[in-house]
Amino acid sequence: METNVHMPLLGEKFAELTNISTTHGVKNIPEDYKGKWFVLFSHPADFTPVCTTEFVAFQNRVDEFKALDCELIGLSIDQVFAHIKWIQWIKENLNTEITFPIIAANDDIANRIGLLHPGKGTNTVRAVFIVDPEGNNRAVIYYPQEIGRNIDEIIRAVKALQLSDKQKVAIPAGWPNNELIKDRVIIPPATDINEANKRVAKTSEYECYDWWFCHKKL
């Protein structure tokens, strides 16, 4: 029987996961997080070194995520009992209390959000889903099992998405430390010749390399 694997796409609704078991009780995602941003991230397995470093790193930045009105949700296909024992181990041995829920997924859930990649074995890959308050996938990132994630980059992505939504701008590489324009943001290109000519005039409200590459301070 062929397994139906869905690869989540940018802009589509996050899959409806109902009555799922987590370390914080039964949850419905994204319904329980309606009106808030959330980052759902999967890990291959509990009691593994790379995953442990990631969970400590996520927990150490919980306040930064909360300042962005963004919640964290972990996930793997381990049973909830393993999750509980693992986070107890982390608290006892690494002096870090994991305060966000961890989903105890099954293969069906993992396939619905594209976490089982045949070429990478039977464990879930390291995936990151950044979901907006309307329940839309705004960023989807997959990492191989052997490489841990950069949590600061995930925070940067959430900040950048929120800023882009609010200001209707694009965000440069490495923002807010871009090599060309530092912490400035990029204005959408002109869509007609008159606007293009205004962009390169000295009276333009923006700074421009050319009409299609203009930027401004926040």
As a whole number of angstroms, the distance between CA 28 and CA 53 comes to: 27
Nearest to 109 by CA among 21, 9, 48, 39: 21
Spell out the domain ranges in the chain: 17-148, 168-218
Q: Which portions of the chain are predicted below pLDDT 70?
A: 1-5, 116-123, 202-204
pLDDT of the residue at 145: 81
What token pair was written down for 106?
Answer: 């099954």
Instruction: Characterize 55-66 residue by residue with b for buried, 16 or more Cβ atoms within 10 angstroms of its Cβ, and e for exposed.
Output: bbbbbebeeebe
Run of H or E residues at 141: strand 137-143
pLDDT of the residue at 116: 65
pLDDT of the residue at 35: 95
Residues 82-121 have pLDDT tens digits of 999 999 999 999 999 999 999 998 878 888 787 766 655 5
pLDDT of the residue at 197: 87
pLDDT of the residue at 102: 97
Question: Does the active-site annotation cover 51?
Answer: yes
CATH of domain 168-218: 3.30.1020.10
Say if pTM beats, i.e. exceeds, 0.85.
yes
Query: Which one of 51, 70, 208, 214 is the catalytic residue?
Result: 51
CATH classification for the domain delimited by 17-148, as one of 3.90.1150.10, 3.40.30.10, 3.40.50.300, 3.30.365.10: 3.40.30.10
Q: Are 5 and 116 a contacting pair, CB within 8 Å? A: yes
Instruction: Characterize 95-117 residue by residue with b for buried, 16 or more Cβ atoms within 10 angstroms of its Cβ, and e for exposed.
Output: ebebebbbbbbeeebbbbbbbbb
Instruction: Please check whether the two domains, 17-148 and 168-218, share a CATH topology.
Output: no
Sign (positive/negative) of CA torsion 201, 207, 210, 214? negative
pLDDT of the residue at 2: 45
Residue 189, preceding bond cis, omega within 30 degrees?
Answer: no
What's the distance, CA 175 to chain centroid? Answer: 16
